[in-house]
Copies of this chain bind each other. A is one copy, B any other.
Amino acid sequence: MKRAMTKIFADFIARRGLKSTKQRDIILDGFLASDRHLSIEELYLKIRASHPNIGYATVYRTLKLFAEAGIAREMQFGDGQTRYEHAGEGEHHDHLVCTRCGSIEEFENETIEQLQAEVANSRGFLIEKHRLELYGVCGSCRK
């Protein structure tokens, strides 16, 4: 997975005539090694621990590149910060967001996806993407 992502990003860099830099390598490593759904700030701080000279703006711009390259996806969970998650090839999932501890679980439900398609169809609406999030209290927080 990590290999694949690294390859995809390298190809993207090449295709776009961009340059390979050590900052981008470091940020990619940090991103791939992390828990999913981290904010720019979170990744920046994590990376800064071992690379104090990498700037916020570079992390910010690099995450945008990851999104363009298709290895990251931008998300908004209503906490005022943009979060990035790993984006595998064509994979899709929705989220359960705990309003207590902030943890984010993922799920997939093909039936829901189909019903969404039906709703859109019946109105002549062409779906490009969708967002389904369940907010509430996670299992751990309920104990």
Q: How far is the CB of A76 from chain B (nearest CB, A)?
A: 6
Interchain CB contact under 8 A, B130 and A134:
yes
Interchain CB contact under 8 A, B129 and A125:
no
Interchain CB contact under 8 A, B127 and A134:
yes
- Whether A139 touches B112, Cβ cut-off 8 Å, given contacts A78-B76, A107-B119, is no
Interchain CB contact under 8 A, A119 and B130:
no
Measured CA separation A119–B120 after assembly (Å): 22
- Complex contacts, A99 vs chain B, CB 8 Å: 128
- Whether A137 touches B142, Cβ cut-off 8 Å, given contacts A112-B112, A116-B112, A119-B107, is no
Give me the interface of A with B, judged by CB distance under 8 Å.
Answer: 76, 78, 96, 98-99, 105, 107, 109, 111-112, 115-116, 119-120, 123-139, 142
